[in-house]
Amino acid sequence: MDSPSASSLQLAMAALVGASLMAISAFYFHKRSVDQVLNRLIEIRRIRPLSAANHQEDEEEAEEDIDGDGGGSGSDEELVIDRKKWSRDLSKSLDENLLRGYRISSSLPNVAPGNDFLDENHKFDQPMGLRAKSYAAPSLDKLNLIPSGLPPLRLDQRDGLDRFVNHSAKYTRVASVGRLVTPRSPGGNAFDDDGDSDDDGTELTNGEDMLFNYGNIDSPIDFTNAQDVNSNNQKTCSIQKIDEGGKCIQDKMCMATATEAKASVDLHGDGKVDTPSVHMVGNDPNFDNTVLALRATLHEHVGSESTSREEEEVQKMIRECLELRKNYVYREMVAPWKKETEGKSSASNTKSDPFHFEPVEATAHRFKMEDGVVHVYASENDTVDLFPVASSTRFFTDMHQLLKVTSLGNVRSSCHHRLRFLEEKFRLHLLVNADREFLSQKSAPHRDFYNIRKVDTHVHHSACMNQKHLLRFIKSKLRKEPDEVVIFRDGKYMTLREVFESLDLSGHDLNVDLLDVHADKSTFHRFDKFNLKYNPCGQSRLREIFLKQDNLIQGRFLAEVTKQVLSDLEASKYQMAEYRISIYGRKQSEWDQLASWFVNNAIYSETAVWLIQIPRLYNVYKTLGIVTSFQNILDNIFIPLFEVTVDPNSHPQLHLFLMQVVGFDLVDDESKPERRPTKHMPTPAEWTNEFNPAYSYYAYYCYANLYTLNKLRESKGMPTIKLRPHCGEAGDVDHLAAAFLLCHNISHGINLRKSPVLQYLYYLAQIGLAMSPLSNNSLFLDYHRNPFPMFFQRGLNVSLSSDDPLQIHLTKEALVEEYSVAAQVWKLSACDLCEIARNSVYQSGFSHSAKLHWHGDKYYLSGPEGNDIEKTNVPEIRILFRHEAWKEEMKYVYSGKASFPEEIVP
């Protein structure tokens, strides 16, 4: 048994050795063949331009001989020899030029040339014309044997300035050809935003260079096909040749580009060119041919009259969406700045005594709630609706039409392109004009970021203080008023000391950590846990005592801490706030209770105005048996408002309080799933189930009643109330679509990053976004993924706000903390911060007289005419850029027929 096994092993070893020898031999044969081919290619490539020059001289001599002899001297044998010699030289020159132009590498060839091309005498027995044509196109095809779907390998040399250098040619070439890159490719723009995954994708960008060489084909033969290739390349890309001195030799293109570029540097239009900008242009040899050429191309693209049919359809749909908004949003018939007499008188009355009530004669108006909407009539017997409003069926139909437009692929692509275009324009503006903006700010006397007006456009009153402030206040009350009866709980009245004893707490035990009102990691995507942070020490009874105005002590503690916050706000002088305070809609008496709390505690400050927030909690009230239908909530919210408007004497304190109210807000967790409303929804009286209505259902009925109320209040010379809800913090984009049609401003709006169409519409309509990145970081979106910097660069009307200082912020000045973090993380300049602060004033509901004092006598004019740098510290060049960019987009959407108002929309 040992003998057969030994023989098998020997046979196997012999086979292995034989196969190894054959493989080694094959490898060496293959290596030798490849080395020969590569050596041949290296020899061809390393031939100096001298051969080409000699070839040209020989050619010229041959032509002179032919011309001199008249084409008939010399023997036929000599002529054949000369033609063969000339053919070989031509073949060698053509080989050299084509291969050098195609940049073949000695180590890893970019293409694999065919054998026929390497044969110098191949096809030279054909007539000259056929040979020329055969080398023009077929030879180029043979060079590129890589499949058509694959891009060529990039093996070109660069000079460190993103330019391709050809050492064997006459010119240094700077070219721009489209290439496909992604935002994460190393060749992408350094300014690109990687945080937003929704924008990731493959896009056509500029920056790739042309591989074909124009300067090395110097043969006098007419290569027809090669010229076609050159002409096609020139049509598809703008290639600019620059000689050794760095000067452009394409006169027409460069002169036009430089003229338009220098004209674009003078953004003021006064014929003056800023010194820093000229310095930048003068010191950069490629500036006229790269950055400014791009800008000229962009302007030419915007002003192009020829548009495709698909583009015209997109523009038409965008225009229709903008017209839909105009049909819904309430606008005052007379702008505030045109009511000079009324404005001055009301301002003087407010400053004298905001709580003094003068009896006002009631009017004969009659109102009636029908199908969830109040209708107003001129008298008791009149049946004509004075202020008709769009029906719910029409609104839901229009909203569905808007959502249909936002879902179309061609509209999404076009809007995304326009938004990216706006973003790149802003970056180009910063490259050219950042120094000018900085110098303008330095020249503005007295103003800087700290002493310009900033409005906190979104902050909840119950969380308006920071946690340290609330802790000090609780300790002071526990020390000074321990025997104050503060709550009725468990069938008995309890003092403040007894409440803390029942919780096994003392004033000495309290600290910020025990208070536990600050948002942490546990609140991310947990709106329920975030709301529990309103309970100090996790106890709802402490919230009722210190943070409620309808309690046993009639909100005295909350009024005192509110006055302290308002005092700090006034001490800062340049910070203002718009506080949200709740009306729940459980009963109509809530309005009188809230108004009496304001008047009795004398809560008023010129640095603060108030908004009413309505929690969307119908399902909770229905489950508890507080209401029977959605109509009950609408009655409890709006009937008292119409009563006090028709007859202020019926609710005098409410009449005084409404003078400080500037807006309505809708609040709750938007991430809750909901069913999209249909065109024919049940009326509020028919909504008796336990499910909460959709966001757009709430929004429409609040809008419809506010529209009628504002019409009535404006007719009586009273201040109006705008709809400014929470929207786009989470949930579906349906919320943003409804808000686009109905609302003046919104809070948050971070979900606009998911819909380029709605984002573009919000930009065109300049709808204000009161964004709170630190609050979003605790609830729904990490800070580095927040779209605020992208929205700002694209020109959306954004402002920063604190939302919930009690849960979010650590310092006494929550709004400055928002600005500080944003400036550090997103590298915002002083000009950026001042522009955001300026936006906050325009978004706010402060009076015309206040804005007149803060921003100058012409603040209501659109564009740079309405900007006073000595008030806002925003350079005129920044405002001009924003205004002109918006006008260009409106011209694009309206095909050059857009009209631009001289005044801002109130």
Q: Which residues are annotated as a binding site for Zn(2+)?
A: 458, 460, 726, 803
397 in a structural domain: no
pLDDT, residue 307, reads 67
Which CA distances in Å does 407 have to 402, 415, 419, 768, 894? Answer: 9, 12, 17, 23, 21
Q: Which residue type is seen at 721?
A: I
Q: What is the pLDDT of residue 355?
A: 85
3 state SS of 158: strand
The residue length of the chain stands at 906
Q: Is residue 376 part of a domain?
A: no
pLDDT at position 205, please? 37
> Cβ of 757: how many Cβ atoms within 10 Å?
27
DSSP tag of 498: H
- Domain of 75, in residue numbers: 30-143
Structure tokens belonging to residue 655: 């009449």
In a domain, 76, yes or no: yes
Q: What pTM value is reported for the model?
A: 0.69
Inside any domain, residue 101? yes
| Distance between CA atoms of residues 624 and 798, nearest Å | 40
Q: What residues are labeled active site?
A: 748
| Alpha-carbon distances, residue 785 vs 188, 427, 766, 790 (angstroms) | 19, 19, 23, 10
Q: How far is the C-alpha of 24 from the C-alpha of 6, rounded, in Å?
A: 27
CA–CA distance, 685 with 632 (Å, rounded to integer): 8
Q: What pLDDT, on the 0 to 100 scale, is given for residue 194?
A: 41
Q: How many helices (H) and strands (E) does the chain have?
A: 35, 17
CA nearest to 670, candidates 621, 615, 612: 615
In angstroms, rounded to a whole number, what is the distance separating the alpha carbons of residues 298 and 242?
22
How many Cβ atoms from other residues are within 10 Å of residue 71's Cβ? Answer: 10
Is 313:410 a contact under the CB 8 Å cutoff? yes
Structure tokens belonging to residue 329 = 């949003």
Residue 507 within any structural domain of the chain: no
C-beta contacts of 593-596 below 8 A and 24+ residues apart: 593/549, 593/550, 594/549, 594/550, 594/657, 595/651, 595/653, 595/654, 595/656, 595/657, 595/658, 596/653
Reading the block at residue 712, the tokens are 């009535």
pLDDT in the model for residue 25: 81
Which residues of the chain, if any, have pLDDT below 50? 1, 49-50, 61-84, 86-87, 90-148, 150-300, 302-305, 341-350
DSSP-assigned letter for residue 691: S
pLDDT value at position 809?
A: 87
**306, part of any domain:** no
CB 861 within 8 A of CB 902: yes
Q: What is the pLDDT of residues 625-664, one digit of tens each?
A: 999 999 999 999 999 999 999 999 999 999 999 999 999 9
Task: Please give the pLDDT value at position 5.
Answer: 67
pLDDT (0 to 100) of residue 354: 86
The CA-based diameter of the chain, rounded to the nearest angstrom, is: 134
| Positions at the binding site for substrate | 460, 529-534, 729, 804-807
What's the CA gap between 125 and 131, in Å, rounded? Answer: 9
Name the binding residues: 458, 460, 529-534, 726, 729, 803-807
Instruction: Give the pLDDT confidence score for residue 201 in this predicted structure.
Output: 38
In angstroms, the CA 666 to CA 727 distance is 8
At residue 292's C-alpha, the angle toward residues 290 and 295, to 5°, is 110
**Is 56 within a domain?**
yes
Task: Specify the number of domains making up the chain.
Answer: 1
Computed from CA positions of residues 209, 212, 216, 219, in that sequence, does the dihedral angle turn out positive or negative?
negative
Count other C-beta atoms under 10 Å from residue 204's C-beta: 8
pLDDT at site 689: 92
Structural contact between residues 863 and 879, judged by C-beta atoms closer than 8 angstroms: yes
DSSP string spanning 292-342? HHHHHHHHHHHT-----HHHHHHHHHHHHHHHHHHHHS---SS-GGG-HHH
How much is the pLDDT for 218?
40
d(CA 210, CA 219): 21
Question: Which residues have a Cβ under 8 Å from the Cβ of 287 and sit 6 or more positions away?
Answer: 261, 280, 281
3-state helix, strand, coil in the chain (%, to 5): 55, 10, 35
Task: Find out whether 840 and 815 touch, Cβ atoms under 8 Å.
Answer: no
Q: Which residues pair with 84 in a beta bridge?
A: none
The pLDDT tens digits for 36-71 are 888 888 877 776 544 555 555 555 544 444 444 444
Residue 80 lies in a domain: yes
Is the alpha carbon torsion for 313, 316, 321, 324 positive or negative? Answer: negative
